[in-house]
Amino acid sequence: MPEPPNKGEKTFRGIPVSAGVCRGKIVLLSRARPSIAPRQLTDADLPEEINRLERALAQTRQQILEIQRKVVEAMGAQEGSIFDAHLLALEDRTLMDEVIRVIQEKRVNAEHAFHTIAERYAATLSAIEDDYLRERADDMRDVTGRVLNNLVGLEPEAELRYLKEPCIVISHDLTPSNTAQLDKRNVLGFATDVGSKTSHTAIMARSLRIPAVVGLKDASGQLATGQYALLDGHSSLLVVNPTDQTLFEYGQLMLKKATWRQRLQDILAEPAVTLDGHRTLLNANIEQAADAEQVKANGAEGVGLFRTEYLFLKRDHLPGEEQQYQAYHEAAAALNPLPVVIRTLDLGGDKFLAHMPMPVELNPFLGWRAIRISLQERDIFRAQLRAILRASAAGNVRVMYPMISGLDELKQANALLEEYKDELRKEKVPFDEKLQVGAMIETPSAAVVAESLAKRVNFFSIGTNDLIQYSLAVDRMNEKIAHLYEPTHPAIVRLIKTTVDAAHRQGIRVSVCGEMGGDPVLVPLLLGLGVDELSAAPSLVPPIKFLIRRLKLSEAHELAASALNCESAEVILASCQELARQIAPSLFESL
């Protein structure tokens, strides 16, 4: 190995995709690309050229199936299903027929024809402003690269498979199939020039639990194999040639974090109970059945919000009743007897399906969204409610409607639910006859008529993300007006109080499942306002529990009472910060 140039410390900043810190020698993956230069063939060459292509496709299919098998074994079915998209791309007959046509008509070699056509497909997909389609473009490029390597007999992953010592892998890009080949024993972490937080490569890194940073721009061009580096997946930094001082500071930081993690670990199985004995339920928000493991690992007491959109977004077709049933059943069975609140589809706003035409609207967040879509697209709603009902036979499932803005919507949704229950009864399909139904309170109108809604459901869950955006008329996605997005605005505090009081008068419980419920600074205010349960990202559950166990409900009540009498969002926020920092200073030092 050539001696690397040993210059001073250099830091590269990227996008964090998988937490953790590691340090070690860099291995820079080369960007060996198979030649795709056109070669002119004769008519006599064409049959063999097409055979060569078919052989490479078959070989690629075998390789992907093998990778998929290993991934399923090592990480689970969910991660393995990432490669379904790769297999689909390989089986795309329109694409292959076009490649064969180009080979025949232009009399060119298979790698040139295949690359040209596949790249055109990928470029079209990646030009569309849609994360899902961009990922499909990445899948297409991953498969294309593999087919080309097989056509020319290149083995690009050799470097990855035969790493001799633990190292940090640096590359311009890592495809999901490259990532799947990483040998965890010898890969401390990885960093790439390109990539996004939601890419499959990022998802795989998180599943493998190895620190990873992407989007380092042109870092790989400035690094050499053998250099020593520190990779920080929390702060998304790659520090090359770190000085002794940097290494020392990181060592201290790591020690602090480890101690803090241990403190959280110690209370994992303990309840979220205040010092004066008030018990709160702490649940987790999930997006797919596979997250159920994280729910338990973080000591959550159930799922307060299963956002079902991901099931729809990750496919190129609508998931039917059966596919949804599998997912809901998996989560319910894995967590039984813990409750799993499944929210019906919340499409629209900022979530669209490439495969479902939706109208272009001037104000999508005020438009055809969530329950409004479900009530009009009956087939979609029916399939989802039937799947949820069926899954309720296997665990403690509850259903919840998003974006209810008034009583009529709730009544309609409930009537349809009853209709589908009747269907199942007639079909003798079991479901939980006592299935609890909840409404999300995320529009100001719902909060104002909460008492009417409360008479028709078993629980409320306040979606503060939307409640804030709709009440304050502040688009939650617009950075320019982000300063106006104030969770402690007096109007929000009062709407939460109105909702809680109405619910309690009707004898039902209230949860908060928006980001406010996962913010340690705001949790005492929510408890003081009477919120019974919280639901937050799994990783936020332990710190929230830590804080609640240091809080007195009486302090929370005082905080809420003063907030309800206060005219300023800023003052309310300052009081929240003061209380939280006073009761759990170590929590804030660790953040």
List residues near Mg ion by CB under 5 A. Answer: 442, 463, 466
Nearer to ligand PEP, 142 or 346 (CB): 346
Q: Residues 372, 135, 214, CA angle at the centre, nearest 5°?
A: 120
Instruction: Name the minimum Å distance from CB 303 to Mg ion.
Output: 16
Paired sense of beta strands 187-192 and 167-171, if any: parallel
CB nearer to ligand PEP: give 236 or 464: 464
Q: Where are the beta strands (DSSP E) in 287-413?
A: 303-307, 339-343, 396-401
Give least dist CB 60 to Mg ion, A.
Answer: 42
In whole angstroms, the minimum distance from the beta carbon of 465 to Mg ion comes to: 5
Q: Alpha-carbon distance 134 to 125, whole Å?
A: 6
**β-bridge pairing 212-214 and 187-192:** parallel
Task: Judge whether 513 counts as a catalytic residue.
Answer: yes
**Closer by beta carbon to ligand PEP, 78 or else 511:** 511
Q: Which does 159 bind (CB under 5 to 8 A by kind): ligand PEP, Mg ion, none?
A: none
Nearer to ligand PEP, 14 or 518 (CB): 518
Indicate which of Mg ion, ligand PEP, none lies near residue 513 (CB less than 5 to 8 Å, by partner kind).
ligand PEP
Least separation in angstroms between residue 463's CB and ligand PEP is 3
Among ligand PEP, Mg ion, none, the one that 307 touches (CB under a kind-dependent 5 to 8 A) is ligand PEP
User: Least distance from C-beta 355 to ligand PEP, angstroms?
Assistant: 21
- Give yes or no for a contact between 513 and 459, defined as CB atoms under 8 angstroms apart: no
Residues across the chain: 591
Which single residue is written with the structure tokens 């994992």?
A: 268
Question: Of 466 and 486, which CB lies nearer to ligand PEP in the complex structure?
Answer: 466
- Residue 104's binding partner, choosing from ligand PEP, Mg ion, none, with beta-carbon cut-off 5 to 8 A by kind? none
Residue with smaller CB distance to Mg ion, 250 or 365: 365
* Binding at 232: pick from ligand PEP, Mg ion, none (beta carbon under 5-8 Å per type): none
Q: Which of ligand PEP, Mg ion, none does residue 18 bind to, with CB < 5 to 8 Å depending on kind?
A: none
| Residue 57 contact among Mg ion, ligand PEP, none, beta carbon within 5 to 8 Å by kind | none
Determine the Cα–Cα distance for residues 246 and 142; give it in Å rounded to an integer.
37
Given the rule CB under 6 A, which residues bind ligand PEP? 305, 307, 346, 442, 463-466, 513-514
| 117 contacts: CB under 8 Å, gap ≥ 6 | 95, 98, 99, 102
Contact 160, 178 (CB under 8 A): yes
For the chain, the distance separating the N- and C-terminal CA atoms, rounded to the nearest angstrom, is: 40
108 vs 311, beta carbon nearer ligand PEP: 311
The Cβ of residue 106 has, within 10 Å, a number of other Cβ atoms equal to: 14
Residue of 200, 329, 489, 576 with catalytic role: 200
Q: What backbone phi and psi angles, to 5 degrees, belong to 311?
A: -60, -35
Backbone phi and psi for residue 397, each to the nearest 5 degrees, phi listed first? -90, 140
Report, in Å, the least distance between residue 466 CB and Mg ion. 4
* Cβ–Cβ under 8 Å, residues 562 and 322: no
User: Pick from Mg ion, ligand PEP, none: which does 194 bind, CB < 5 to 8 A by kind?
Assistant: none
Query: What does residue 142 show for φ and ψ, rounded to 5 degrees?
Result: -60, -50
Q: Which is nearer to Mg ion, 157 or 442 (CB)?
A: 442
For residue 409, the partner it binds in ligand PEP, Mg ion, none, with Cβ less than 5 to 8 A by kind, is none
Catalytic (active site) residue 200: yes
Exactly one of 22, 167, 513, 576 is catalytic; which is it? 513
- To the nearest whole angstrom, how small is the minimum distance from the Cβ of residue 514 to ligand PEP? 3
Number of Cβ within 10 Å of residue 588's Cβ equals: 14
For residue 451, give the amino acid letter.
E
Helix axes 569-583, 490-505, angle to 10 degrees: 70
Closest CB to ligand PEP among residues 395, 463? 463
464 binds, among ligand PEP, Mg ion, none (CB under 5 to 8 A by kind): ligand PEP
- CB within 8 Å of 15: residues ≥ 6 apart: 195, 196, 197, 213, 214, 215, 236
- Degrees, nearest 5: CA angle 235-161-158: 115
**Closest approach of Cβ 462 to ligand PEP, in Å?**
7
User: What b-and-e string marks burial along 314-330, b requiring 16 or more CB atoms within 10 Å of the CB?
Assistant: bbeebbebebbbebbbb
**Least distance to ligand PEP from the beta carbon of 507, Å?**
24
Cβ-contact 80, 105 below 8 angstroms: no
d(CA 169, CA 143): 21
- Smallest distance from the beta carbon of 465 to ligand PEP, in angstroms? 3
Outline where 281-349 has alpha helix (H).
292-297, 309-313, 321-335
Q: Which two tokens stand for residue 563?
A: 């907030």
The answer to whether the bond into 337 is cis (omega within 30° of 0) is yes
For 332, 384, 426, 428, 434, the CA distances from 399, given in Å and listed in that order, are 12, 10, 21, 21, 11
Burial (CB count within 10 angstroms: exposed 0-12, middle 13-18, buried 19+), residue 285? buried
- Report what 528 binds from ligand PEP, Mg ion, none; CB cut-off 5-8 Å by kind: none
Q: Which is nearer to ligand PEP, 159 or 515 (CB)?
A: 515
Rounded least distance, CB 397 to ligand PEP, Å: 18
Nearer to Mg ion, 142 or 442 (CB): 442
Residues involved in catalysis: 200, 513
